[in-house]
Amino acid sequence: MTELGSRFAYTARPIPPYDFRLTVRKPAGWPLFTPFEVYADSTLWSALRVGGTLIGVRLSNLGTVESPRIRVSLSSREALSAYEREHVASALNSRLGFDEDLGPFYAMARNDQILKHVVSDLYGMHDTDMGDVFSGALLAISLQMTSMPRSNAMMECMIKRYGEAAVFDGRRVMFWPTPKRLAAFTPQQLAESCKLGYRAKFISALSKRLASEPFPSVEELKAMGPADAKRLLMGLPGIGDYSSDIVSPHGGFPIDVWSADIFGKLFFGREPRNGRAAIERIKSFGMKRWGRWSWMAFYYVAQDLENLSRKLGISLRLT
DNA sequence: GCGTCCAGGTCTACC
DNA sequence: GGTAGACCTGGACGC
């Protein structure tokens, strides 16, 4: 357990529109940084790692969608220097999309027959980044070739068994393990303890790689071009085309068997007969249609399936 | 109850 | 460079 007793706070003013609830507590249930974060009374308690340091995060909504104000309280084990505080705050602001202008995306989306619905339903929802590269990669690998209930079970087991507890503000938030921690176990031990199956070999190799070699942070990946970030991520064990689109702070168009059914219906009016075989075709079609906004389009559609089903009169599978 | 299929992919051997 | 096949596990389904 890690007691995070040193705290600093500031008030952020994101670029409007900024819907706090939609951004930190996404309609589809995707967690912000960890499945164990807590949301109550317009406040989120979560955690993330910046430069290997575990940070407790409390976000409180003080404003409105058009005039957003968010009180940010960050807790760490040791007191941070002024430089470190600035670095941590900058990393968090970037992950929460505070400086992201939704205007250009909305301008394109309002002229698109699919997206015009989702940007109306989810007005002010910003894109957010993973807590760190390793936790994003563990999430992506857990999603591969299995059902959502089993993916969730694998992730929760890894976090509970090998992760770190951020204790602050009277709360206890479990966060993802470090590469060093997981690198201490064999693939067999990981597979047996959390029923990871063949993914244990990927996770073990990934842990050893990131524990022994430097790898760009989320901020560094964001600072480089999308293609360079994707190339680096795909060099990691267990991270292919789909997973790199999930982990990259630039996003992508992460079409898998589940989303191939959804976008097949949206683009062509029906689910593909063979979802796996249709992935390439649907991904290519979507990226051609939405270009640099492909990730935002994917993100907004995935969060709005229920409303979209009703508005378009088609059944989009939620899970 | 039992066997088969397949799910929110990636890697490798083989051609 | 392109592609078939292997890979854990467990729920759904047919019999």
- Tens of pLDDT, residue by residue over A147-198, are 999 999 999 999 999 999 999 999 999 999 999 999 999 999 999 999 999 9
pLDDT of A319 strictly over 70: no
Helix (H) or strand (E) holding A146: none
A243 touches strand B (CB under 7 A): yes
Residue A318: predicted pLDDT: 66
Domain that holds residue A165: 133-239
* Shared-domain flag, residues A81 and A160: no
* Shared-domain flag, residues A94 and A12: yes
Helix, strand, coil share of chain A (percent; to 5): 50, 15, 35
Residue nearest to nucleotide C7 (CA to C1'): A198
Residue A147 CA to nucleotide B7 C1', Å? 5
- Across the range A257-267, mean pLDDT stands at 93
- Residue A227 sits in a domain whose CATH number is 1.10.340.30
Residue A248: predicted pLDDT: 97
Residue nearest to nucleotide C9 (CA to C1'): A197
Residue A268 CA to nucleotide B13 C1', Å? 36
Q: How far is the C-alpha of A289 from the C-alpha of A279, rounded, in Å?
A: 15
Residues A144-152: contacts with CB under 8 Å, at least 24 apart: A144/A199, A144/A238, A144/A242, A144/A243, A146/A197, A148/A319, A150/A195, A152/A35
The last residue of one of the domains, among A181, A205, A239, is A239
* Average pLDDT value for chain A: 96
Residue A125 lies in a domain: no
* Shared-domain flag, residues A150 and A210: yes
Residue A140 CA to nucleotide C10 C1', Å? 20
Secondary structure of A48-105 in HEC code, one letter for each residue = EEECCEEEEEEEEECCCCCCCCEEEEEEECCCCCHHHHHHHHHHHHHHCCCCCCCHHH
Residue A272: predicted pLDDT: 87
Residue A110 lies in a domain: no
Residue A84 lies in a domain: yes
A140 touches strand B (CB under 7 A): yes
pTM of the model: 0.97
How sure is the predictor about A31, in pLDDT bands with cuts at 50, 70 and 90?
very high
Residue A245 lies in a domain: no
* Shared-domain flag, residues A6 and A60: yes
pLDDT tens by residue, A64-108? 999 999 999 999 999 999 999 999 999 999 999 999 999 999 999
Q: How many domains does chain A have?
A: 3
* Shared-domain flag, residues A144 and A234: yes
* Shared-domain flag, residues A234 and A271: no
Residue A249 lies in a domain: no
